[in-house]
Structure 1
Amino acid sequence: MYFLDQPDVMAPFVTGNRSRAFGAGLDPFAYARVTGGLRSLYDWPAAFRAVGDRLVAAAEEDAAGGRAVSAGEALRGAARWLHFSTLLPHPDADAAAGAARAADGAMRRALELTEPSAVRVEGASFAGWLRRPAGAGRPVPVVVVVPGLDSAKEEFHAVADALLARGVAVCSVDGPGQGVLAAARAPRADYQHVVGEVLDALAGHPGVDASRAGVLGLSLGGYYAAVSAAHEPRLRAAVAVSGPYRLAWEGLPLFVTDTLTRRCGGAEAARDFARRVDLTRTAADIGCPLLVVEGGTDDIPGVTSGQALAEAAPDATLLCVPHGDHLLGNCRPDWLPATADWLATRLGTGAAGA
């Protein structure tokens, strides 16, 4: 049975993604209206896409009227809603790919209007945006922000804004199997090669001090951040938020296995990917300070949590919020400011706590 065909699956999925949606910046009342009108999860992509499309249309009207700030805000919102339309392992892969491209395009237009200094950064295995703090007059450290299994660079605006406010540049990326690259590249467990490619690209930007680089990954991206820190010597700090230490395929929820199967191109490839998501032999090789951020209520079957990573890595700190859920969208003030300060301190901005 596919995830979408399970009986009574819609209500727990809507509830389970509520704090994630709020943490990503979706309006909570709009989320309630949209999800309240669903007949089944098969309707989710079109319903969320419709909100994104309406925001794009509003942005075009604002831009035509010379209201650039309003247009930019609407486009940022559109990018979030368009991305959220792609969360499910829906059989219409073409629609998901189109929505991911639309989210990417909306974010591009938002930055053109409100942050023209943002730079598109791309390589063979990633696509993203490099943003620098406002008024930065000299090269600043940079953090690569890595999404997870079904997330994308459009989801983590709050994380990027917190780092920018502390004098740290941000390069938010989609890698293989993520966002705008989900249809073109299968996920890869050796994500250190992706982060290495990003760092190669950042080294050529005069406003960025790539010798002071960090990585922050969320959900499966937390594993990506940790494995990158174990293999990429240019990283000076790493953060894993709600990241797995290892996966056990047979215990994983159907949502995860179905999503992996679709993004990896088949069940056998998905099983192999899950088998390789394992830090047991790698954690001891992490050569930079590591912050592991965990929610105390985040308990996913088949997933060994990041607490094991904090115990195994040589220089790790565990920040556990007892009431936090997966991605800690229900308690952002309890972890995000401290995490941004921790990175700013480790990368030497002198702006921690600003």
Structure 2
Amino acid sequence: MDAAEFAAEFAAAQRSRALGVGVDPHEYQRLTEGLGSVADWETACASAAQGHLERAKNAGSSRSAGEYLLAAARWFHVATLAHGPGAHRAAAEADRALGRALGLLEPGARRVTGEGFTGWLRGPADAPATVIVVPGLDSAKEEFLDVTSALPARGVAVFAMDGPGQGALAAGSTLTARYEQVVGRVADALGLDRFGVVGLSLGGYFAARVAALDARVAAAATVSGPFRLDWADLPDPVRDILVRRCGGADAARAFAAEVDLTALAPRIAAPLLVVDGGQDVIPGVVNGEPLARSAPHATYLNVPHGDHLLGNARPDWLPHLADHLAGHLAGESVQSPAGARA
């Protein structure tokens, strides 16, 4: 396979994830179909982001400028997915573009930063509850803008965050498996005595761990979250990312060994929605079904055609997830989605 063929294969593998981030599918096709190698990915995506920044400068309204800035934030994040030499710079640019966008589109949004975290508090000022959105291994707050929009639309405030080794903090910190300490500091900074938490990909493990260990969690959800990792069976690309995000091979192995919810799942007292994609098969990763089976108040939703992060199946799970979190935080009865099982 030559470099161009490998680039085409990489682009095809990333397509669902990139579209889930929210980039335009036609722009994605135009950008990726001419790549000469994966080494060109970062430059091409950053160039698309710069195009949206230029459009923002010349926009006819603050609303249009904000929307272009959101598109730039999305593309800068997609630029990081090849883990090239400029990935940290692209993550910083995504963070900056998101902040500028929210300044125009949601003037009430508030940046909150503390030890091991940074993010944006969004939604109604008088919201009765807040959901903390946790990213995964190589994701960031910019990847899940659809989740952080669906929740305020249901009257819930949302804190979209980067933690250690993630997004805007990836350049100067490393992942921690003990994420309950990080979210605990977030909740303290926001003054929350109860909250919801949702985690996506590796963030699903983090969210489940928080739900098991922090009594303030009143509702929880995971999307494509691992129940357990087996270092020996993980694909080389996943191991490489873990090594990079954990700060070395030994630290990565130790981190992977901690990712196991066997003992923690029975301790999750809050209502929990576990979402898996039936096409999400990664060697060395045990998906969420055992978590749903072991947690006392869990509902399991498996979308048969869903891939990792279910970017190809948003309507099959995102409205249900938002309803689950908002409904339980409001103390309402929440109907399980069709095909789910308790």
Matching residue within 137, 142, 157 for 1:154: 142
Distance in structure 1 (CA, Å) of the matches to 2:11 and 2:300? 29
- After superposition, where does 1:131-280 map in structure 2 within 5 Å? 131-133=122-124, 138-203=126-191, 210-280=192-262
Distance in structure 1 (CA, Å) of the matches to 2:12 and 2:39? 16
Question: Match of 1:104, as an amino acid?
Answer: D
Matching residue within 286, 291, 296 for 2:268: 286
Distance in structure 2 (CA, Å) of the matches to 1:114 and 1:23? 21
Matching residue within 56, 72, 85 for 2:53: 56
Going from structure 1 to structure 2, the CA distance change for 1:35 and 1:147 (only over 3 Å counts) comes to same
Please tell me whether the aligned partners of residues 246 and 303 of structure 1 are also in contact (alpha carbons under 8 angstroms). yes
Going from structure 1 to structure 2, the CA distance change for 1:303 and 1:118 (only over 3 Å counts) comes to same
> How far apart are residue 179 of structure 1 and its match?
0.3
Q: CA-to-partner distance for each residue in 1:106-134, whole Å, 9 max, x for gaps?
A: 0111011111000001111000000013x
Q: CA-to-partner distance for each residue in 1:23-59, whole Å, 9 max, x for gaps?
A: 1110001111111121111111111111111111211
Bigger Cα displacement from structure 2, 215-224 vs 255-264: 255-264
Distance in structure 1 (CA, Å) of the matches to 2:291 and 2:300? 9
Question: Match of 1:105, as an amino acid?
Answer: R
Please tell me whether the aligned partners of residues 310 and 316 of structure 1 are also in contact (alpha carbons under 8 angstroms). yes
The equivalent of 1:124 in structure 2 is 115
Going from structure 1 to structure 2, the CA distance change for 1:266 and 1:9 (only over 3 Å counts) comes to farther
Please tell me whether the aligned partners of residues 283 and 313 of structure 1 are also in contact (alpha carbons under 8 angstroms). yes
Question: Match of 1:69, as an amino acid?
Answer: R
Question: Which consecutive unaligned segments of at least 5 residues does structure 1 have?
Answer: 204-209
Question: Match of 2:156, as an amino acid?
Answer: V
The equivalent of 1:323 in structure 2 is 305
Normalising by structure 2, report the TM-score: 0.94
Q: Secondary structure at the match of 1:237?
A: strand
Going from structure 1 to structure 2, the CA distance change for 1:190 and 1:11 (only over 3 Å counts) comes to same
> How far apart are residue 158 of structure 1 and its match?
0.8
Distance in structure 2 (CA, Å) of the matches to 1:8 and 1:276? 37
Distance in structure 1 (CA, Å) of the matches to 2:128 and 2:333? 11
Please tell me whether the aligned partners of residues 110 and 122 of structure 2 are also in contact (alpha carbons under 8 angstroms). yes
Please tell me whether the aligned partners of residues 230 and 285 of structure 1 are also in contact (alpha carbons under 8 angstroms). yes
Distance in structure 1 (CA, Å) of the matches to 2:254 and 2:194? 34
Please tell me whether the aligned partners of residues 247 and 304 of structure 1 are also in contact (alpha carbons under 8 angstroms). yes
The equivalent of 1:27 in structure 2 is 24
The equivalent of 1:80 in structure 2 is 74
Q: CA-to-partner distance for each residue in 1:272-318, whole Å, 9 max, x for gaps?
A: 11111111121111121111001111111110011111111121110
Question: Match of 1:36, as an amino acid?
Answer: E
- After superposition, where does 1:40-55 map in structure 2 within 5 Å? 40-55=37-52
Distance in structure 1 (CA, Å) of the matches to 2:159 and 2:175? 19
Bigger Cα displacement from structure 2, 78-87 vs 262-271: 262-271
Normalising by structure 1, report the TM-score: 0.91
Distance in structure 1 (CA, Å) of the matches to 2:51 and 2:252? 35
Q: CA-to-partner distance for each residue in 1:200-230, whole Å, 9 max, x for gaps?
A: 1111xxxxxx334100000000001001111
The equivalent of 1:104 in structure 2 is 95
Going from structure 1 to structure 2, the CA distance change for 1:350 and 1:287 (only over 3 Å counts) comes to closer
Q: CA-to-partner distance for each residue in 1:52-89, whole Å, 9 max, x for gaps?
A: 11111211222xx5x21110000000000001111123
Matching residue within 13, 18, 21 for 1:16: 13
Going from structure 1 to structure 2, the CA distance change for 1:160 and 1:27 (only over 3 Å counts) comes to same
The equivalent of 2:315 in structure 1 is 333
Please tell me whether the aligned partners of residues 166 and 352 of structure 1 are also in contact (alpha carbons under 8 angstroms). no
Going from structure 1 to structure 2, the CA distance change for 1:274 and 1:262 (only over 3 Å counts) comes to same
> How far apart are residue 269 of structure 1 and its match?
1.1
Q: Secondary structure at the match of 1:75?
A: helix
Matching residue within 294, 305, 313 for 2:287: 305
Please tell me whether the aligned partners of residues 8 and 32 of structure 2 are also in contact (alpha carbons under 8 angstroms). no
Going from structure 1 to structure 2, the CA distance change for 1:6 and 1:243 (only over 3 Å counts) comes to farther
Distance in structure 2 (CA, Å) of the matches to 1:78 and 1:7? 26
Question: Match of 2:301, as an amino acid?
Answer: L
The equivalent of 1:207 in structure 2 is none
Please tell me whether the aligned partners of residues 168 and 349 of structure 1 are also in contact (alpha carbons under 8 angstroms). no
Question: Match of 1:77, as an amino acid?
Answer: A
Bigger Cα displacement from structure 2, 236-245 vs 259-268: 259-268
